[in-house]
Amino acid sequence: MSFDHRKYAPFPVVDKPDRRWPSRRIEKAPLWAAVDLRDGNQALIKPMNVAQKKRFFQLLVELGYKEIEVGFPSASQIDYDFCRALIEDDLVPDDVSIQVLTQARQELIERTFESLQGAKKAIVHIYNATSPTFRQQVFNVDKEGCKKIAAQAAQWVRDCAAAQPDTDWSFQYSPETFSATETDFAIEVIDAVNDVWRPDQGQRVIINLPATVEVSTPNVFADQVETVNDNIRYREHVLISVHTHDDRGCGVAAAELAVMAGADRVEGTLLGNGERTGNMDLVTAGMNLYAQGIDPEIDFSRMKEIIALVEEITEIQTHPRHPYAGDLVFTAFSGSHQDAIRKCLAQYKPGDTWRVAYLPIDPHDLGRRYEEVVRINSQSGKGGVAHVLERDFGLTLPRWLQQELALVVQQDAEEDGGEITGERIHRRFNGDYLNVPAGWTLRSYDLHRTDAGVKASISVGEKGDTVDLNGQGEGAVGALVDALNRRHGWQIRVEAFDESSLGDDTEANAMACVRVRVGERVQSAVALAADTTAAALQAILCAAGRVAETADVEAPARAQA
Ligand SMILES: CC(=O)SCCNC(=O)CCNC(=O)[C@H](O)C(C)(C)COP(=O)(O)OP(=O)(O)OC[C@H]1O[C@@H](n2cnc3c(N)ncnc32)[C@H](O)[C@@H]1OP(=O)(O)O
Ligand SMILES: CC(C)C(=O)C(=O)O
Ligand SMILES: [Mg+2]
């Protein structure tokens, strides 16, 4: 059997009874570093060319990222050329630092500094892997040997920087595979690097803690970060950064808990592109803050632009359920969700704190439309159908009619198997309730109030082919019902009747909805008209006409002819 979990060992828990991070809250955005052009790039089937890197860099700058890892210039001519272009064409704003990565090898470090000649400010980022697997199987070094690689490289970096004093240098060190390294050993290595760099003497230093491969639950990573935070030398003089990957699907969670555990800075990529399952997603992490009322300091209102550019350059499509960014993340198909969203949206006023069921943020903030929020399929209920008619066609139906229409729409959806558009619901509504059967159009009406009630003379039919119906009742509707009963020998009972006025932007001013019973037959109808009386009379005529059609009764004017 090859599917055998005994091949794997559990990651050891960290014994840390004094952990403080679980009761902390993130109250401001960390310093973000975008590594799309390096870590994201090294994961692409087709790595970026210089022109693509320029466009991506420009977007990152415009969004608000201040530290951007632009490549691995000692490894690739494109990355080298890109660095030169950024510097020589003066493409880096004064408040933005470019960052470059290199292995802890002298010739590579020297070439890296060469690529940065003339930069106003830059971050040189060195790494070596520190975990037992790497020490034993990849580098074949003991702990001392591993520490020496790091300290030696730190020295080369310091020397190279000293030779280019016009640049404002930051130094960054990553104990690669930190999360799989014994934490006390990682601290030893970090201390050895900082003993060379001396952040306490004014050198800006970033200590970046990578979950190169995510190997544990995020709480374990947070414990590791808090341990480093509490025990490294020069802590108050260095920035602690985290760089998480998403192998277990928790890259963002691990970074968030790490910030609670003391990290000042977070590295990631837009939409999470990166090696294997990806890097920590800057969009999700930033928007998670935003949804808690914290300024992410990045402009995600340009979400459509972010998605378009990332998709074009990475040639990777965004999952429709991708947090905040996917096509479907603001869409509810299920009935109870739609009902709750509709009720909350109706109560929400601009300026209120956002409290809308099932929508963690306002879709408008990311350039999305409320039109996408409620979409109808067989999982939908009356609330959703009503919402679509209200939203797209300005029609607010009474509850009993919502229920009736929703059943019909659900049948359509079940037969169809997919989504039912707003237009189709509207067509169904018109066909089943609103369209007037031939010969049953209200032409005019004349009402006389007497002591006995209302006497009505109602002209019905089509142009040039009308008849007057005369009846008496408590009101106009009663009088029409009386007239129809006399004419057809029916006993019409009005079971439900609702009328409402419509918005200013509609031709009709009033809507009436009726449900009548004629013997065993129940029929609902709706009418839109210039006034409420006309709407009520037309709705009754429409319902009567539908009953007549199925009972083989002629329309009044035709019967007369
Ligand atoms: C987790 C990360 O994302 S780390 C970044 C990874 N990104 C990349 O590797 C992309 C760019 N890299 C490259 O193009 C190449 O690896 C280069 C140009 C940097 C180096 O290429 P090469 O010299 O051919 O070596 P190769 O790629 O095979 O690297 C392996 C050698 O580097 C050593 N090495 C690997 N990482 C490091 C490091 N961080 N510091 C020092 N030495 C290292 C290995 O021990 C091995 O040495 P050996 O040849 O003596 O056994
Ligand atoms: C080089 C480091 C920071 C890295 O990308 C990783 O460990 O994932
Ligand atoms: Mg990485």
Confidence of residue 127 (pLDDT cuts 50, 70, 90): very high
Q: Is the CB of 69 under 6 A from ligand 2?
A: no
ipTM: 0.97
| pLDDT at residue number 235 | 98
Q: Are 34 and 269 in contact (CB under 8 A)?
A: yes
Confidence of residue 481 (pLDDT cuts 50, 70, 90): very high
Residue among 197, 208, 134 nearest 175 (CA):
208
| pLDDT at residue number 7 | 96
Q: 173: which 2 tokens?
A: 């060190």
Give the pLDDT confidence of 37-66 residue by residue, as tens digits: 999 999 999 999 999 999 999 999 999 999
337 annotated as belonging to a binding site for a ligand: no
Give the pLDDT confidence of 294-327 residue by residue, as tens digits: 999 999 999 999 999 999 999 999 999 999 999 9
Q: Which residues, other chains included, contact 75 with Cβ-Cβ below 8 Å and sequence gap of 6+? A: 102, 108
Mean pLDDT of 163-191: 98
Q: In whole angstroms, what is the distance from residue 320 CA to residue 249 CA?
A: 17
Q: Which residues of 181-199 are buried (b: 16+ CB within 10 A; e: fewer)?
A: bebebbbbbbbbbbebbeb
Residue 220 has pLDDT above 70, yes or no: yes
> Residues, the chain, total?
561
Give the pLDDT confidence of 197-206 residue by residue, as tens digits: 999 999 999 9
What is the overall mean pLDDT for the chain? 96
Give the pLDDT confidence of 337-382 residue by residue, as tens digits: 999 999 999 999 999 999 999 999 999 999 999 888 999 999 999 9
| pLDDT at residue number 371 | 83
Q: In whole angstroms, what is the distance from residue 538 CA to residue 542 CA?
A: 6
| Cα-to-centroid distance, 86 and ligand 2 (Å) | 23
Residue among 160, 183, 240, 251 nearest 214 (CA):
251
Q: In whole angstroms, what is the distance from residue 538 CA to residue 486 CA?
A: 18
Give the pLDDT confidence of 455-477 residue by residue, as tens digits: 999 999 998 889 999 999 999 99
| Cα-to-centroid distance, 59 and ligand 3 (Å) | 21
Nearest ligand 1 atom to alpha carbon 72:
11
243 annotated as belonging to a binding site for a ligand: yes
Mean pLDDT of 106-127: 98
Nearest ligand 2 atom to alpha carbon 178:
7
| pLDDT at residue number 556 | 80
- Of 503 and 448, more confident: 448
For residue 312, the SS3 value is helix
CA distances from 306 to 56, 271, 278, 302, 312 (A): 9, 9, 17, 6, 10
Q: Is the CB of 105 under 6 A from ligand 1?
A: yes
Q: In whole angstroms, what is the distance from residue 118 CA to residue 88 CA?
A: 8
Percent helix, percent strand, percent coil in the chain, to nearest 5: 45, 20, 35
Give the pLDDT confidence of 88-115 residue by residue, as tens digits: 999 999 999 999 999 999 999 999 999 9
279 annotated as belonging to a binding site for a ligand: yes
Residue 561 has pLDDT above 50, yes or no: no
Q: In whole angstroms, what is the distance from residue 509 CA to residue 528 CA?
A: 7
How many Cα atoms are found within 13 Å in the side-chain-facing hemisphere of 361? 22
Q: Are 524 and 515 in contact (CB under 8 A)?
A: yes
User: 265-268 and 31-34 as β-strands: parallel, antiparallel, unpaired?
Assistant: parallel
Residue with tokens 């189709």: 424
Q: Is the CB of 243 under 6 A from ligand 2?
A: yes
Q: Is the CB of 244 under 6 A from ligand 1?
A: no
| Cα-to-centroid distance, 540 and ligand 2 (Å) | 73
Residue among 428, 344, 335, 434 nearest 382 (CA):
335
Q: How many CB atoms lie within 10 A of CB 558?
A: 14
Q: Are 252 and 288 in contact (CB under 8 A)?
A: yes
